Amino acid sequence: MSQMGFFDIAKRYADLDAKNDPLSRIDEVVRWEAFRPRLEAAWRRPPEERKSRAGRKPWDAVLMFKAIVLCELYNLSDDQVEYQLRDRLSFMRFLGLGLEDKVPDAKTVWLYREQLAQAGLIEALFEDFDGHLEQQGYPHPELDEGGDERPDHRCLDRAGPQTA
């Protein structure tokens, strides 16, 4: 194997685009920043409740939500999404990660999803996500091509019951 050249990664991304990478298209049509306030409200303690600013910086809220979206879209367990984030260039790009970046581990994905479930936000967030896709002409994810209902989001199932 030869060493990667300066433009090799750009060529790989271009090759993904030429094959109509669905994640790239989704990333273009979803207004991810619209999710940030609700995500951070569920995941971040107000500054006055924090004991100190010491410790590792938290993961970006939108990046973590995108990881949870990948679990849903590809029916992945937390362990599998961690592996796929390390392995798949399209997944890395979807989250805005480079080859040199760390990826969230399985426990972190679980923890973020669990906090959303405890805040009762998962269903509303995925309804908004589905709405972004529907506005762009994607079929509704709750219906299969014949119009029959599909099971609820996998992330809802794994997160357990939601509290009101």
Size of the chain, expressed as the number of residues it contains: 164
Report percent pLDDT > 90 for the chain: 49
Q: Confirm whether 15 is domain-assigned.
A: yes
Model confidence at 136: pLDDT above 90:
no
- Structural domain including 83 reads 8-46+57-159
Q: How many domains does the chain have?
A: 1
Model confidence at 7: pLDDT above 70:
no
Tell me, what's the pLDDT at 20? 73
Tell me, what's the pLDDT at 161? 31
Q: Confirm whether 1 is domain-assigned.
A: no
Cα 57–50–60 angle (5° rounding)?
Answer: 30
pTM (predicted TM-score): 0.76
Which burial class, exposed, middle or buried, applies to 8 when counting CB atoms under 10 A from its CB (0-12, 13-18, 19+)?
exposed
Of residues 150 and 60, more confidently modeled = 60
